[in-house]
Amino acid sequence: MTFRQLKKIFLTIFKWILICILTGLFSGSASAFFLVSLEYVTQFRIQHNWIIWFLPVGGFLVGLIYYYWGESVAKGNNLLLEEYENPKEVIPFKMAPLVLLGTLITHLFGGSAGREGTAVQMGGAIADQFTKLFNLDNSERKILIILGISAGFASVFGTPLAGAVFALEVLYFSKINLKSTLLSFVVAYAAYFTVEFWQVKHTHYSIPIIPELNFSSLFYTLIVGLLSGLAALLFARSTQLWGTLFSKTIKYPPLRPAIGGIILAIAIGGFGFTQFSGLGVPFIVDSFYHPNEWYDFLLKILFTGFTLGAGFKGGEVTPLFFIGAALGSALFIIIPMPIALLAGLGFVAVFSGATHTPVACTIMGMELFGIQPGIFIALACTIAYFSSGSVGIYKSQIVKGAKYKLYQKLQRKELEHL
């Protein structure tokens, strides 16, 4: 190997390490600011419940912002997936401030939404700006999108391993090379430690009691995984249903979240369903200690699907955690397993089914709850993955892998019997 070749290799490695550090630093700082801001608006809403009646105003404001300034980035996470699959144009940087502002408005006035989508979109928009700075081609742009997703996810949840794997898995593993894999882990930890540097804390959960590994405990875990997959399917269908309904019936886009906000304000404020607004983190934490009502997870599906379908901004993952934890906690009445374990299994399994990412969700479960319940977590996430159907929360996601092959075989068998 010549000196020139060694120099080229060294410069390439240096370039990508620099990109990872910068992406992690900027994305992590953006997530830290977002998390602090989100906590502030959440506490303000909790202390001033009357503000929920202004949800239609907030919705109209979000609608106006995206209609006049954010049309090119309105697809959100789906735009990242589309640009990865078929790179065309650099993602506009305005995606980051617009989704940040839209999400904060949604949470301030009491909409039911999450935070993962916001962090991932900020990370993706930030990372893709390096395309022009470093004169990268389309294949290298794909790596940037992976880095942005990894940094956003890892920083907002404090789970660097899961963030790195999620970015790879959600974009379909078989198209990922070793270079992308290594860089995804580097940027995830860079973003994670950036949030740690800013001293922003993440929510901690625990599963203190782990049952003996036997046939009955595995059977009950299978049941939790199956029900979690069906809940994920219902959530994905619900969000898409409301989105289609609003787009078909209300032609002027800014009016969609405004009218949706009127309905949400009456439902949440008028009927006392405030626990289903915002992230619902206190409710999730409580699910690990006290059984929920059997319908709580259904109400969260309804409120979040309606909020996002109407055009409010925010993520889907934390509501999925809420749905899963509430479902698992409610099953404590009929399933003889520790309530914290049931809530934890639902927590990650519903997420697995809705995003088609069982590996990342298994890793996330072990990062959040410890390695001891790892076998139960892996089984629940896998079963939820297979039982959630082919439709997830990301319409532009290409579903491949084991689930795709299984569905193909089932379809062929159905055609043979016709």
Least confident of 44-53, 246-255, 378-387, 397-406: 397-406
Give Cα 193 to chain centroid, integer Å: 20
Nearest residue to 238 via CA among 306, 294, 300, 295: 306
Tokens of 173: 């593993």
Over residues 239-249, the pLDDT tens digits come to 999 999 999 99
Residue type at position 218: L
Report the predicted TM-score, pTM, of the whole model to 2 decimal places. 0.93
Rounded to an integer, what distance in angstroms lies between the CA atom of residue 349 and that of residue 324? 7
Segment holding 143, helix H or strand E: helix 138-157
Give residues with Cβ within 8 angstroms of 4, minimum separation 6: none
Q: Tell me: pLDDT of 418 over 60.
A: no
Neighbour count for residue 293 (Cβ, 10 Å): 12
Neighbour count for residue 352 (Cβ, 10 Å): 32
Average pLDDT, the chain: 92
Over residues 259-288, the pLDDT tens digits come to 999 999 999 999 889 999 999 999 999 999
CB 31 within 8 A of CB 67: no
Rounded to an integer, what distance in angstroms lies between the CA atom of residue 323 and that of residue 284? 9
Rounded to an integer, what distance in angstroms lies between the CA atom of residue 316 and that of residue 235? 9
CB 100 within 8 A of CB 34: yes
Give residues with Cβ within 8 angstroms of 199, minimum separation 6: none
Q: What percent of the chain has pLDDT over 90?
A: 83
Q: Domains (ranges, CATH) in the chain? A: 3-197 (1.10.3080.10), 215-403 (1.10.3080.10)
